[in-house]
Structure 1
Amino acid sequence: MKKNIQRLGKSFFIIVAVSVLLFQSGCGFKDIDKRIFVLSIGVDHTDNEERPYRVILKLAVPSGSIKQSGTEYTYLVGESESFSTAIRNLKTQTDKELDFGHAKVIVFGEDILHHELEEIMDFFLRRRDIQLVSWVAIGQPSAENVLKAEPESEMAGSHALFNLFDQNGVESPLVVTTYLFDFRRRVLERGIDPILPVLFANEDKKRIDVNRAIVVNGNKKRVELNPKQTTIYNLLSNNSKRFDVRVKNDDLNFTVAIDTSNVHFHINTETKQKPIIKMDIEMVGIIQEADVYTDSSKLQTYSKATSKTIEEDVLEVLKKFLEEGVDPLGFGVRYKATRLHNNKRNEEWQELYPKVTFEVNAKASLKSTGVIE
């Protein structure tokens, strides 16, 4: 009797489950031929107060064959009072559903930096289909110019900006990589300032240069770094292990290729009247170019000259950060993390940072003068 009841119960459960599935509404899934993929998003600021945001979407146009010629990309451009409204309006300009799952680059126009960054990035953080590992950059002369640039080396269905930032296509100490999640952290966290790479599109839109960066602090102040300063920043933040150093003085004139590098710093506030940031830099490299004869027996001399040059370059950049009142390296975060917590640590650091002095100790070890003697 119990077995019959159990069998009837199982049969009833199966019938109910099947019935529920039959009456379920369709899910949100759309076939791939009903979707179009957004590769990158651009945002420029307009002078229109009613529609202040100009949103640009770069879309990949699917092709039946890799060898097929013709248009590989298309663009949607619209202006609105908010990002959400702009995206909704742009959907009416295409016959396919916009898919943001492959959007890995967000480019802001330079004028955006004059406005509240928290409000600007809010949309990108709330949407579940925009990746937090998307790269964020500044576009010059505008985000639209950068996104509409199509370098001749760009392949169909790919994106030149992907290769610039993912460190697989291009490995350069001049490229600063900032992720969306890190950009948010830097905007909200006290003690570290956001830094964004600068993308510049030339007039014919056939080339994109990325060899500079911009630091933004909480007061909307912008500090632009030239290529040399950008390289030093990547070195100090341990984002790049390889870079070139030009050593030039009265007796020596050569270029060193650094293969590996490591940077550590310590904040000493035992005497609050004169806090000290001690920075140790270790590097290994070889001489790859020289205007004078180089003797392999003098590698120690060349190493000392390289160390001195690095110390001077690093001190120049650190003093620039201090004079401009910006902190992209996170000295303030390190100070708060290495002291017992209280509610005044941030205020303490704001008072200490202008008084900081830097002590840089660079140790370069050159292994050879190259393959020629």
Structure 2
Amino acid sequence: MKRQLFRLFIGIAACLFLTSCGFKDIDKRIFVQAIGVDYSNNEKQPYKVTLKLAVPSGSLKEAETKYAYISKEDSSMAEAIRFLKSHEDKELDFGHAKVIVLGENILERDLHEMLDFFFRRRDIQMISWVAVGNPSAEKVLKVHPKSEMSGTFALSNFFSNNGVESAYIVSSFLFDARRRIVESGIDPILPIIETGNKSKLKVNQSVVFSGVKKTRTIQLSPKQTKLYNLLANNTSKMEIEVGKMEESFTMSVDTAKVRYKIITSGRKPVLKMDIRIGGIIEESSFDMSPKNLDKYSSQAGKHTKKEILKLLTLFQEKNIDPLGFGLRYKATKLNNGKRFDEWKKIYPDLTFDVSVDASIKSTGAIE
């Protein structure tokens, strides 16, 4: 009996130290759909933060999603967000912030320092997508595509594979962007969202930069972005154009598999890469015969090999590594604390030995 009374006393005493519930009803919250960060050209207040807020509709018949936008320039991300809270009568909820857009001019700064705010906040998901906005993050956020319907968010449809699926689109999660920025041996790559008006978005290019210090930055064209997706993600839904205008064809890739290994045992270091792609002919400027499938496959393989070697050589000349060759080298060698320094000496002299085995199964023609 005494033990039960003692436990009851302890339970009542513990309740006295409990705080009240911090939960707020949904009608007291407003959801942040996307966050934009631009450089303000003011060193004292370098960050211009723009929030895209979903405005709830009181009618189920509303066919259009409405948004509100608030912006603030400040010396830090946290201070800007704190100040923006005073612009709304509801609590800012970042649990649905799916996209973080960075202005192109912000890439010249230390991204690790700037993104530290997003890494630390517990209410911002690490699976949010990170992209670069052109001409600015604010203008990209304020675009409202005509195809955007109620209950959907156009920016997230580009990267989630639930909407469009394209080999020209690179998707980068916040956790992966952080890993690439912090980790040596692999460089960050982010998609570029372009807009020219208030109703159109375009995502078919990407930008690669080197680690924390943005001293080496290159923008990949749509064609280069497509090849990067093939090498990094085994992207299969892509097309390969082969030949000249008079006698050319387009191969639709259905399957893709890329393997590589780094060989340093010889006189010169070699990166040996084996690529296998399969598909059918999707378009042709001349009559194609099923009897010549081996010939067409060989042509597709040679053309793909040539283009991939150009891309790998570009990465090497610019001393950037978005494919993570340096990370692979460190992971396959016994750690002695100097592996990355070794890789920095090896990479400029690395020889690329690329082989592409293309297999065209059908000309796609209907007799």
Q: What TM-score range do you get, normalising by the shorter chain? A: over 0.9
1:340 aligns with 2:334: yes
Deviations 1:261-295 (A, max 9, x none): 01011111112x52111111111100011110011
Please name the residue that 1:214 is paired with. 207
Match of 2:119 among 117, 120, 125: 125
1:165 aligns with 2:166: no
Deviations 1:177-214 (A, max 9, x none): 11111111111111111000000011x22111000000
Match of 1:256 among 236, 244, 251: 251
Match of 2:273 among 264, 269, 279: 279
Query: How do 1:79-158 residues align onto structure 2 when only pairs under 5 Å count?
Result: 79-158=73-152
- What SS does the aligned partner of 2:42 have? coil
Please name the residue that 2:305 is paired with. 311
- What SS does the aligned partner of 1:237 have? helix
Shift of 1:25: 3.4
Match of 2:36 among 10, 21, 42: 42
Match of 1:226 among 221, 225, 229: 221
Given the superposition, is the C-alpha separation of residues 324 and 23 from structure 1 closer, same or farther in structure 2, using an over 3 Å criterion? closer
CA contact (8 A) 1:260 1:285 kept: yes
Shift of 1:69: 6.0
CA contact (8 A) 1:61 1:157 kept: no
Shift of 1:11: 5.4
Please name the residue that 1:245 is paired with. 240
- What SS does the aligned partner of 1:182 have? helix
Q: Distance in 1 between matches of 2:236 and 2:119?
A: 31
Given the superposition, is the C-alpha separation of residues 15 and 339 from structure 1 closer, same or farther in structure 2, using an over 3 Å criterion? closer
Deviations 1:77-126 (A, max 9, x none): 11110000000000000000000001111110011111111101110000
What letter matches 2:284 in structure 1?
A: A
Q: Distance in 2 between matches of 1:114 and 1:143?
A: 15
- Structure 2, unpaired ranges of 5+: none
- What SS does the aligned partner of 2:233 have? coil
Q: Distance in 1 between matches of 2:3 and 2:352?
A: 78
Shift of 1:248: 0.8
Shift of 1:158: 2.4
- Structure 1, unpaired ranges of 5+: none
Given the superposition, is the C-alpha separation of residues 71 and 292 from structure 1 closer, same or farther in structure 2, using an over 3 Å criterion? closer
CA contact (8 A) 2:102 2:133 kept: yes
The sequence identity of aligned pairs, in percent, is 51
Q: Distance in 2 between matches of 1:335 and 1:327?
A: 12
Given the superposition, is the C-alpha separation of residues 332 and 140 from structure 1 closer, same or farther in structure 2, using an over 3 Å criterion? same
Aligned length: 365
Q: Distance in 2 between matches of 1:342 and 1:16?
A: 54
Deviations 1:334-363 (A, max 9, x none): 111111111221111111100011111001
Q: Distance in 2 between matches of 1:25 and 1:366?
A: 67
Q: Distance in 1 between matches of 2:345 and 2:133?
A: 34
Given the superposition, is the C-alpha separation of residues 298 and 251 from structure 1 closer, same or farther in structure 2, using an over 3 Å criterion? farther
Please name the residue that 1:72 is paired with. 66
Q: Distance in 2 between matches of 1:19 and 1:82?
A: 42
Please name the residue that 1:321 is paired with. 315
CA contact (8 A) 2:35 2:100 kept: yes
- What SS does the aligned partner of 2:207 have? strand
Shift of 1:249: 4.3
CA contact (8 A) 1:108 1:137 kept: yes
Shift of 1:303: 0.7
Q: TM-score, normalised by structure 1?
A: 0.94
Shift of 1:71: 6.4
Given the superposition, is the C-alpha separation of residues 278 and 73 from structure 1 closer, same or farther in structure 2, using an over 3 Å criterion? same
Q: TM-score, normalised by structure 2?
A: 0.95
Deviations 1:295-321 (A, max 9, x none): 111111111111111101111111111
Shift of 1:152: 0.7
Given the superposition, is the C-alpha separation of residues 251 and 360 from structure 1 closer, same or farther in structure 2, using an over 3 Å criterion? farther
Shift of 1:166: 0.5
Given the superposition, is the C-alpha separation of residues 239 and 123 from structure 1 closer, same or farther in structure 2, using an over 3 Å criterion? farther
Q: Distance in 1 between matches of 2:354 and 2:18?
A: 67
CA contact (8 A) 1:66 1:156 kept: no
**Which one has the largest radius of gyration?**
1
Please name the residue that 1:33 is paired with. 27
Q: Distance in 2 between matches of 1:169 and 1:66?
A: 23
Q: Distance in 1 between matches of 2:205 and 2:174?
A: 19
Match of 1:193 among 181, 187, 191: 187
